[in-house]
Amino acid sequence: MGRMHLHILGICGTFMGGLAALAREAGHRVTGCDAGVYPPMSEQLQALGIELIEGFDAGQLALAPDCFVVGNVVTRGNPLMEAILDAGARCTSGPQWLAEQVLHGRHVLAVAGTHGKTTTTAMLAWILERCGLEPGFLIGGVPRNFGVSARLGSGRHFVIEADEYDTALFDKRSKFVHYRPRTAILNNLELDHADIFPDLAAIETQFHHLVRTVPASGRLVVNARDEALARVLARGCWSEVQRFGTRREEPGGLAARGEPEAFDVLRGSLRLGRVEWNLLGEHNQLNALAAIGAAEHAGVAPEDAAAALAGFDNVRRRLELRGEAGGVRVYDDFAHHPSAMRATIDGLRRKLDRATPPGADAPRILAVFEPRSNTMKLGTMKARLPWALEQADLAFCLQGDYGWSAREALAPMGAAAVVADSVPALVEAVVRAARTGDHVLCMSNGSFGGVHEQLLAALTRAAAAPR
């Protein structure tokens, strides 16, 4: 491919920002714009020599790039998009550009699923890297092992986080139908993105579109515990299937024996390898089995893949300890769907319980969250919040402009749930309730108004105040 000038609309999102980095690494000239040119992506892009423009004014048409690459944040009525359409200028979507210019001719390993995509993609990329395959990757977060969210890689393999969200305003298919993977992980499937999918069946249809693109010599790595995925495969399957999370008596499937932070990997009763690492929760144990099953299709022995995971350092914002003040630990986590919130709280609870001596009280978990995702804002999942928060001792929720009442949704929790109308009021409520030895877990898919820094500062002040 010759050198091109790309102008990327919506460049600061994790996917489009990663695409920009790949294009730059491939030698193209890249410029871009976004409504809010914001870190961390803006800093990463500027360091790569990518010129960023604030806003979507029609005057950017004068840049006259070879192609405008349009992110799915862009809607009709956007001034620059209207100008592109009026001028008949060449434009494409991010996934289509990626498929044609980067993925074509490579062994693509795609990681799909409602939860755990970013973490599992990072695990798989790390396994291939440690085992000498020098993969390319595009991940919707920054894996600590690599320090970047995307790279071309010099090897044949390319690992990509495969999102079911739509592609662009002119292409309402899921992003992942563009990627044509030879290896595809189907990790789990629940209703999410309720702003574009009416129900679970609609998402199952998109996942089946993905299954249809995998060749007969390809491999589907599928969560054996997921009924929705079983329905997807029942619609038709043309590739080898490697199931994971199976019961031990099921032949051929990958299973785990042991605790989530130290377990044997089994196929039937045959022991293939052992994973010992610092990640928490059964969900990460399943993510590991998925990554091991996919890496095997790329030629990595499960024993080597399991050993490689000992050096895996999780993606930022996955149960990340942000600090300690006044004897209270404050964590940050990306969880925003009730199932992910429950899994995150459960992982922390198990860790704390194991560290608690017999006869001693287990430390308390204070869950702090905002229902910020499009699905949560619609109220689609509000009835599941008490279930999601079951393992927490206290829950603190930010009431936003959602059109539904968090107080009503959390009423079944009684005094164990507190709802505040602003971040400062939320911080004040948490600090008032917190005591030495507590663990405060903040969950959001956004910046949450800087709640972590505010909590640590307020806890420090409270600890220094005369009693």
Q: Residue 172: which H helix or E strand, with range?
A: strand 171-174
Instruction: Dig out the tokens for 401 from the structure.
Output: 């402009």
Q: What's the pLDDT score for residue 29?
A: 96
Query: Across residues 138-162, what is the average pLDDT?
Result: 92
Relative to beta strand 394-398, strand 417-420 is parallel
pLDDT value at residue 38: 67
Give the CATH superfamily of 320-464.
Mur ligase, C-terminal domain (3.90.190.20)
* Helix, coil or strand: residue 465: coil
**Which regions of the chain carry the CATH code 3.90.190.20?**
320-464
Q: How many whole angstroms separate alpha carbon 299 and alpha carbon 131?
A: 10
* Predicted confidence (pLDDT) at residue 346 exceeds the cutoff of 70: yes
**308/400: higher pLDDT:** 308
Question: What pLDDT, in 10s, does the model give residues 24-58?
Answer: 999 999 999 999 776 677 888 988 999 999 999 99
Query: Is the Cβ–Cβ distance between 173 and 209 less than 8 Å?
Result: yes
Burial of 216 (0-12, 13-18, 19+ CB in 10 A): exposed
Residue 54, number of CB atoms within 10 A of its CB: 11
Rounded Cα–Cα distance for residues 68 and 360 (Å): 61
| The token pair that represents 32 in the structure block | 């871009």
What are the pLDDT digits (tens) for 357-385? 888 888 999 999 998 776 677 777 788 89
Identify the CA nearest to 209 among candidates 169, 167, 150, 246. Answer: 167
Angle 344-346-347 from CA coordinates, rounded to 5°: 65
Helices (H) then strands (E): counts for the chain: 15, 23
CB 108 within 8 A of CB 178: no
Burial class of residue 433 in the structure, from the number of CB atoms within 10 Å of its CB (0-12 exposed, 13-18 middle, 19+ buried)? middle
**Could you tell me the pLDDT band of residue 188, with boundaries at 50, 70 and 90?**
confident
Q: For residue 131, give the nearest of 13, 296, 346 by alpha carbon.
A: 296
Question: Does the pLDDT of residue 248 top 70, yes or no?
Answer: no
Q: If you average pLDDT over residues 267-273, what whole number do you get?
A: 92
Question: In this predicted model, which residue has the larger pLDDT, 287 or 189?
Answer: 287
Strands 67-70 and 91-93 turn out to be parallel
- For residues 236-254, average pLDDT: 89
Per the CB < 8 A criterion, the answer to whether 363 and 352 are in contact is: yes
Q: 52-78: per-residue pLDDT in tens? A: 999 999 999 999 999 999 999 999 999
Please tell me the predicted confidence (pLDDT) of residue 195. Answer: 61
Mean pLDDT throughout 109-124? 93
Separation in Å, CA 190 to CA 116, 154, 187, 324? 12, 35, 10, 35
What sign does the dihedral 338-340-343-345 (CA atoms) show? negative
Strands 166-168, 171-174: pairing kind? antiparallel
Q: How much is the average pLDDT of 153-172?
A: 94
User: Per the structure block, which two tokens stand in for 373?
Assistant: 């995702």
Please, are residues 328 and 434 in contact by the beta-carbon 8 Å criterion?
yes
Residues of each domain in the chain carrying CATH 3.40.1190.10: 105-311
Q: Report the percent of the chain where pLDDT is more than 90.
A: 70
Q: Average pLDDT of 199-228?
A: 95
Query: What are the structure tokens assigned to 375, written together?
Result: 């699905």
| Percentage of residues in the chain having pLDDT higher than 70 | 96
Answer yes or no: CATH 3.40.1190.10 is held by domain 105-311: yes
pTM value surpassing 0.85: no
Per-residue pLDDT at 396: 96
- CA-nearest of 169, 173, 136 to 68 is 169
- Tokens coding 193: 């993105």
CATH 3.40.50.720 domain extents, the chain: 5-95
Written as one letter, the residue type at 243 is R
> Looking at domain 5-95, which of 1.10.287.610, 3.30.300.130, 3.40.50.720, 3.40.1280.10 is its CATH number?
3.40.50.720
